[in-house]
């Protein structure tokens, strides 16, 4: 798996003990990067919390009710700030720990597998970020809708940790949804899924996308639902297009080889 420049045996491979040493080194570097990122995240946590508090402020202004974040324990505020700091740290340090994971596994891959892995990584990351941004844009609408079911005479006292976990799950869910078409392409390239199978399931894909966007967006906000559904549908058909081109190229290569063998 890891680098074979040091401690090679006769076959040019590392021993099990050397693999563990290499893994420990990679994990240590990742942990240091995460720790440094978390320290930076501690100083940025207040700015993030102000941004997270925005939808709560909108509730108070739009619905004319008291709306506040609530800490249900003495250490609640500290625990939440630590959670926010670690989350920011994981994002900031992601280039470092992703590289460490990559460096550990890359030598175990063939040249073809490396090409697919590079393509997957450099396509999935931007799509995940784009999905996260879209999810973040939906947060105010969803929070406003869900809190509107409370009677007007009641105050909206929202648990701070529950609120943060809800937002993180929503952002992650939308981000992962944007990455799913990349998996379709990857499965096609490794021969698991054909382009014909992808396009044959387009009706089910549309139904699942509509269901997901209906759950992830307010029922009364049709515009947000369409703004989320349109790029997801576009990514699905884009994945089909890439898979179709790949299948066509593979078929041409197979026909040429068959013709050469028959000659």
Please, which pLDDT band fits residue 40 given cuts at 50, 70 and 90?
A: very high
Lowest mean pLDDT among 36-40, 89-93, 172-176, 218-222: 218-222
The percentage of residues in the chain with a pLDDT greater than 90, rounded to a whole number, is 8
Q: What is the pLDDT of residues 107-153, one digit of tens each?
A: 666 776 677 777 777 787 788 888 888 888 877 777 777 777 777 76
What average pLDDT does the segment 177-196 reach? 83
**In the 3-class helix/strand/coil scheme, how is the chain assigned residue by residue?**
CCCCCCCCCCCCCCCHHHHHHHHHHHHHHHHHHHHHHHHHHHHHHHHHHHHHCHHHHHHHHHHCCCEEEECCCCCHHHHHHHHHHHHHHHHHCHHHHHHHHHHHHHHHCCHHHHHHHHHHHHHHHHHHHHHHHHHHHHHHHHHHHHHCCCCCCCCEEEEHHHHHHHHHHHHHHHHHHHHHHHHHHHHHHCCCCCHHHHHHCHHHHHHHHHHHHHHHCCCCCHHHHHHHHHHHHHHHHHHHHHHHHHHHHHHHHHHHHHHHHHC
Q: The tokens of 113 are what?
A: 């597998």
Given a cut of 90, whether residue 39 has pLDDT beyond it is: yes
pLDDT in tens, 61-119: 766 666 777 888 888 889 889 988 988 888 888 788 877 877 776 666 677 667 777 77
pLDDT of res. 144: 75
Q: Quote the mean pLDDT of the chain.
A: 79
Least confident piece of the model among 13-17, 124-128, 138-142, 159-163: 13-17
d(CA 242, CA 3): 33
d(C-alpha 75, C-alpha 80), whole Å: 9
| pLDDT, tens digit (0-9, with 9 covering 90-100), for 200-210 | 888 898 998 88
Q: What is the pTM of this model?
A: 0.67
């Amino acid at each position: 798996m890891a680098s074979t420049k040091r401690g090679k045996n006769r076959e040019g491979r590392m021993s099990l003990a050397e693999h563990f040493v290499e893994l420990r080194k990679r994990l240590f570097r990742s942990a240091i990067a995460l720790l440094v990122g978390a320290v930076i995240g501690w100083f940025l946590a207040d700015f993030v919390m102000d941004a997270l508090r925005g939808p709560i402020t909108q509730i108070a202004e739009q619905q004319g009710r008291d709306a506040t974040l609530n800490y249900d324990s003495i250490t609640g505020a500290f625990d939440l700030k630590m959670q926010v700091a670690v989350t920011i740290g994981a994002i900031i340090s992601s280039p470092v720990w992703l590289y460490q994971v990559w460096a550990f596994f890359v030598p175990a891959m063939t040249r073809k597998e490396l090409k697919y892995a590079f393509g997957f990584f450099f396509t999935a990351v931007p799509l995940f970020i784009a999905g996260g941004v879209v999810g973040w844009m939906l947060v105010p609408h969803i929070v406003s809708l869900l809190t509107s079911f409370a009677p007007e005479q009641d105050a909206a006292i929202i648990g701070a940790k529950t609120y943060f976990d809800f937002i993180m799950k929503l952002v992650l869910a939308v981000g992962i949804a944007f990455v799913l078409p990349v998996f379709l392409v990857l499965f096609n390239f490794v021969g698991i899924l054909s382009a014909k199978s992808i396009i044959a399931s387009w009706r089910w894909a549309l139904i699942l996308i509509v269901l997901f966007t209906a759950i992830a967006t307010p029922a009364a906000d049709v515009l947000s639902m369409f703004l989320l559904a349109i790029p997801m549908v576009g990514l699905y058909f884009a994945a089909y297009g890439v898979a179709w081109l790949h299948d066509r190229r593979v078929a041409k290569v197979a026909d040429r080889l068959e013709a050469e063998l028959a000659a």
